[in-house]
Amino acid sequence: KQEVTQIPAALSVPEGENLVLNCSFTDSAIYNLQWFRQDPGKGLTSLLLIQSSQREQTSGRLNASLDKSSGRSTLYIAASQPGDSATYLCAASSGGYNKLIFGAGTRLAVHP
Q: Tell me which stretch binds other proteins (CB under 8 A): 13-21, 59-67, 71-79, 91-99.
A: 91-99
**C-alpha 26: how far from chain center:** 15
**C-alpha 102: how far from chain center:** 10
Q: Which of 71, 105, 108, 110 binds other proteins (CB under 8 A)?
A: 105
Three-state DSSP class for residue 83? helix
Rg (CA), the chain: 13
Q: Are 25 and 94 in contact (CB under 8 A)?
A: no
| 96 is an interface residue for other proteins by CB under 8 A | yes
> Which DSSP letter does residue 82 get?
G
| 12 is an interface residue for other proteins by CB under 8 A | no
State which residue, 79 or 99, has the beta carbon closest to other proteins.
99
Q: Which of 21, 86, 91, 110 binds other proteins (CB under 8 A)?
A: 91
| 71 is an interface residue for other proteins by CB under 8 A | no
Q: Are 20 and 108 in contact (CB under 8 A)?
A: no
Residues that bind other proteins (CB under 8 A): 4, 31-32, 34, 36, 42-46, 49, 89, 91, 95-105
